[in-house]
Chain A
Amino acid sequence: MKIYLNSAIFQIFQVLTVLACSPFIAGFISKLEEIFEGKRGPSVFQPYYDLYKLFQKEILIPSDASFVFKSAPFVSFISMVLITLLIPVLTAYPLPLGFMGDMLGGAFLFSLSSFFINIASLDMGTSYGGLGSSRATLLAILSEPTLILVFVGVALIAKSTLPYVMLHTITKSLPLYFSPSHFLIIAAFFLLFLADTDRRPINASTHVEMSMIEEARILEYSGPYLALLKWSGHMKQFLLLVIFLNVLVFPWGLSVKHSPAGLIIAVTSLIVKMLIIGVIAAVIDTAISRLRFFRYQEYFAAAFVLSVLAIMTFQYKGF
């Protein structure tokens, strides 16, 4: 009974961490980018202020919108919350609800949220919506095979599709950590991460140039709906980073036992890892420019090749 209580507390804490920290990371990255460009940039907590402000505003809905428009923010937000239950955010062992789905289930939930936002943007009735959703669908088509192959690679290494097992396999045997297939998977996933979170070279979303994908899709939303969508966007980025860091790159620092100390260590180590990756992401974002639309296929072909090579080199490694 005690164990279950502890696990439940950990589970709730996991969700709260994700909810609370995701805007912080987003704000941190955008501030870093502004600093790299030589400006002072908004405060790190700006996203919190934005969310708070948005929750106060009134809701405006286009007259032709249907239930899809009203339900999309909720679907997106809730699926993000569901994903946090599945992946190792704070703990190195699966929490009670963590067996609901493996990595493929997580991918499904990501696609679910993206899909609903797509049809909601079509529902808006403006041309921007069509533009945004068509581009988003194209990106999804190009990136889904690679994502599946990355999961296949992970499954080959870890012999299971649960992220926790992968974590254990990587930490237990160092040669596996340093094998080329592991590094290739990291590279492929990083490329997908850049694509999915609307960073360059896929998407440029400065306030001067309105992006064609993300912001176009949620153009008509206002008030709390917009707040939910923005929050789920922050959470998507956070969760992708969590998968990237805690499963693939640096799975250490997660708590192994049910203790408050372990919890605090887990949270702080997570924040620290996030900040480091945030720096790297900001550097990349400012250093390279956006690819032309028709050159997206090269980018995704590269990611695809990396993941296939990871699988191939795994088959015949020397140990």
Chain B
Amino acid sequence: MLGFVMPLYVYIIEDLLVALILLSSFVMLSSRWISFYIHAYGFQSFLIFILTLVLGIESQDINLYIVAFLTLFVRTVIVPYILLRMIKKFNIKEEVKLIIKIPLSIISGLLLTVFAYFLIYRLISPFSPKIVINASSIALSLIFIGFFMIISRFTTITHILGLLIIENGIFLLSVVVVPTLPIIVELVVLFDILVTVAAMLILSMFMKLQTGSFSTTMLNRLVG
């Protein structure tokens, strides 16, 4: 995206993909059922995969292809699969407990998106074409929305999902703004995801064994 001149339809496709990604994060904010969350996350990862592929075609960079396919495997297939199986295995209740109700969550997500646009505009605008500003603002808003989800939901699975959304946002930002980033960073993100999910799942297992539930309301025990 930076510095390449492409036929117009490529820009249109990129724009649409990025808007859909943003919409999918709002869908996640507004859903009540955990499996819906996970499917929306898988869908979002799939969109990111397609976007990376388009960027790879645009810049003819082999790194982006590799990273795109890694994203496809890890984020779109493996992680949702693991999470869904965990839900079935431990009979986690499907309903998400919310601290902040849905309409307020949606509006807060909107505020965070506007804030992200403002921030990116201040930072990057002197030297980037407009489409990069759009995409990177959406990536930053994904990060904010991910943090918001960690704050405003109660279940362990949604904590994990919030972290995953943050990782998605970081990945999108790095791919869009600095396509020449060494592939090591993308690998860091993917590694982060896998390891974090694995560790948190094991902890959830322990949590289930001990307390018999996955609710994290008991996280109020240790205070002070």
Contacts and interface: CB of A to CB of B under 8 A. Distances in A.
Interface of A: 175, 178-181, 183-184, 297-298, 300-302, 304-305, 308-309, 312-313, 315-319
B23 interface: yes
A318 B23 contact: no
B106 A305 contact: yes
A302 B106 contact: yes
B203 interface: no
A184 B113 CA distance: 15
A288 to B, nearest CB: 15
Interface of B: 8, 11-12, 14-16, 18-20, 22-23, 26, 30, 102-103, 106-107, 109-110, 113-114, 117, 129-131, 133-134, 137
The 8 closest A-B pairs by CB, nearest first: A318-B131, A180-B19, A316-B134, A301-B103, A297-B103, A318-B11, A301-B106, A316-B133
Contacts of A313: 15, 18-19, 22, 134
B106 A316 contact: no
Contacts of A184: 19, 23
A309 B23 CA distance: 9
A301 B15 CA distance: 24
Nearest to B17: A180
Contact of B8 (A298, A300, A304, A319): A319
10 contacts: A175-B8, A180-B20, A298-B103, A302-B106, A304-B107, A304-B110, A305-B26, A308-B110, A312-B114, A319-B8
A305 B141 CA distance: 14
A309 B19 CA distance: 8
Given A183-B19, A298-B103, A317-B134, 16 more contacts: A178-B16, A180-B16, A180-B19, A184-B23, A298-B102, A298-B106, A300-B103, A304-B107, A308-B110, A309-B19, A309-B110, A312-B137, A313-B15, A316-B130, A316-B133, A319-B12
B113 A309 contact: yes
